[in-house]
Structure 1
Amino acid sequence: MDELDTMREGVAKEYGFALYRRYSEKQAAHLLGIDLTTLKRWRRAGKTPYVNLGPRKKQYLGTHIADMMIKGADWHEA
């Protein structure tokens, strides 16, 4: 297990979410401690991955949430 995986597990345990569960956009924003509109803006700008389940339903894996917590909004550039 590499360092990033260890950090992801620690963050998930600390904040009480599962790494391989999908979370709604509202739940993800709550876990991240940001406004829902901020998360939507990040998604639309391509700053975060998401699971597209149709035109009106977007979800996030726990690993996506952990990565954003660890690396911030620019997690994809690190």
Structure 2
Amino acid sequence: MAFYVLILKDEEDETGVTYRFGPNEDNLGSLWLNKSSGEVKELEEIPAQNPQAFFQRAAVKVRQHWKNGLFPEKTCWAS
């Protein structure tokens, strides 16, 4: 089964980055990434079935970018 998560940067400051994520631009939740520790927290669950699957994949992807020192404007998880 294919899985796609759109991830869009919402806000960024010196301590963290907020991203919106979900299956498409009409159904987005949000998460926050701590720039110093790489900790990811879910701020808003997406309005869809199995919302934790979307959050987990989005969290993995933004942490991969964080490990490389990157905070992209747009990215995705696709499998």
TM-score, normalised on structure 1?
0.26
Which structure's residues are more often helix, by fraction?
1
TM-score, normalised on structure 2?
0.26
Which structure's residues are more often strand, by fraction?
2
